[in-house]
Each structure stands twice: as C-alpha cells, then as structure tokens.
Amino acid sequence: MVPNGICVMMKLAGLFMIVAAIGGCSGIEPATPTRARVEGWSSVTLPNSSKAEVFDAGVYAMKQWFRLDEVSPADGQIRSATVEYDQRGGTERIRDTALKFKNRMRRSATLVVQEVGTNVVARCAVQVQRSDTSDHRVFRDNQRFIDYPNETPIDREAGVTAGQDQVWTDMPRDRQLESDILSVVKSRIAGRGSAPTSAKAS
C-alpha cells in the first residue's frame, strides 16, 4: 500500500507534467537558423533597396579587404577566405601589453543579406583568432617530458600534420572592420562611392 504522502506527491508530479506539456504548445515563434546565426552581428538596414543590389554591394565591399571563398546569392551569404597578419599587442595578454609582442593573427568575414519586411538588412561578422601554437608546444612538451621521459622528438610529432599542429585562440570580433564593410555597402547603395557612413553593432 502506498503511503498517503507519496501518493499526493505522485499526483502533484503528474499534474506538473500535464501543465508543462500544455505550456510547451505556446505560440512563441522559435528562432530560425538564419536569425540565430546572425544574432549579435553588426548590421545596417537599407530601405528602398532590392536584395540583389545589396548583395552585389556586399560582394564589392568584402573584396576591399578579403579574397572571397563563397558567394551564394540564393542564401544571401558572402564568406571570405582566412587572411593571416601580424599584430603587436592588443590581445589582452600581459605579455602583449608590456612588451608589444608581435602575434600571428588571422581573420575571416561573413556577410549575410536578408529581406526583413519591406527592408533589406546586411549583417556582418569578422572573426579573429590568435596563433598560440608556440605556447601550446612548450606546454605540451613539458607535460610529455614529465609523463614520457623516453619519448623521442620523432615519436612526439608522429602522425601530426602541419594543420593539425596549429593552435588558434578565438579573440573578440573586429567590430571596427565590420562597421567599415557595412559603411561601404551603404555608400555603394546610396551612390556615394565608398565614403564612410555609420553602421551599428547590435
């Protein structure tokens, strides 16, 4: 025989499950994959413009800084190839701030053009990464020296390709470059060449 206290708890649990199931059928519209993908990106709204002409302006703008890797008018997406560069300091590490250490960096950009109501919106994100391969190697070799003192250098690098041996750390996005790219898009649409205009980061 089930004690009264346990019986009451079972009834309450069942009631809770029914309420939760009903609540799950709310009319809240889930975020679409595209909307979720571009959430938080820098954006500019371009009224009285077609998606096609904004897309063309986006291709032009991206080419001012990058070589393009993917151009898809159907998806409204323009994706750049990854570009490597050197940067002294500015990566939020004490070593970089004090010594202006030169870091190997890389960045890539994606621009998405969408129709939102009667307007067209261009959204841009510039991802930045810092190379930490050397630091990672030192740490890894120290660990292996402790754990595997008889391992040879050839053994340590066996089966590792150049690409697999690279270590990149994500950094804050380059919002200034995002704004510059969108400014060129807006200026191109307005027929003012490539004069800089304002764009917002959402």
| SS3 per residue for the chain | CCCHHHHHHHHHHHHHHHHHHHHCCCCCCCCCHHHHHCCCCEEEEECCCCHHHHHHHHHHHHHCCCCEEEEECCCCEEEECCEEEEEECCCCCHHHHHHCCEEEEEEEEEEEEEEECCEEEEEEEEEEEEECHHHHHHHHHHHHHHHCCCCCHHHHHCCCCCCCCCCEEEECCCHHHHHHHHHHHHHHHHCCCCCCCCCEEC
Residues 150 and 82 in one domain: no
Domain count, the chain: 2
Per the structure, the complete domain to which residue 143 belongs is given by: 133-166
Instruction: Check whether 7 has a pLDDT greater than 80.
Output: no
Residues 62 and 151 in one domain: no
What is the pLDDT confidence band of residue 66, given thresholds at 50, 70 and 90? very high
Residue 40 included in any domain: yes
The reply to whether the predicted model has a pTM over 0.75 is no
Instruction: Check whether 127 has a pLDDT greater than 80.
Output: yes
- Comparing 143 with 77, which gets the higher pLDDT? 77
Residues 84 and 122 in one domain: yes
Instruction: Check whether 37 has a pLDDT greater than 80.
Output: no
pLDDT at 28: 32
Residue 111 included in any domain: yes
pLDDT at 38: 83
pLDDT at 24: 40
Residues 98 and 192 in one domain: yes
Residues 39 and 86 in one domain: yes
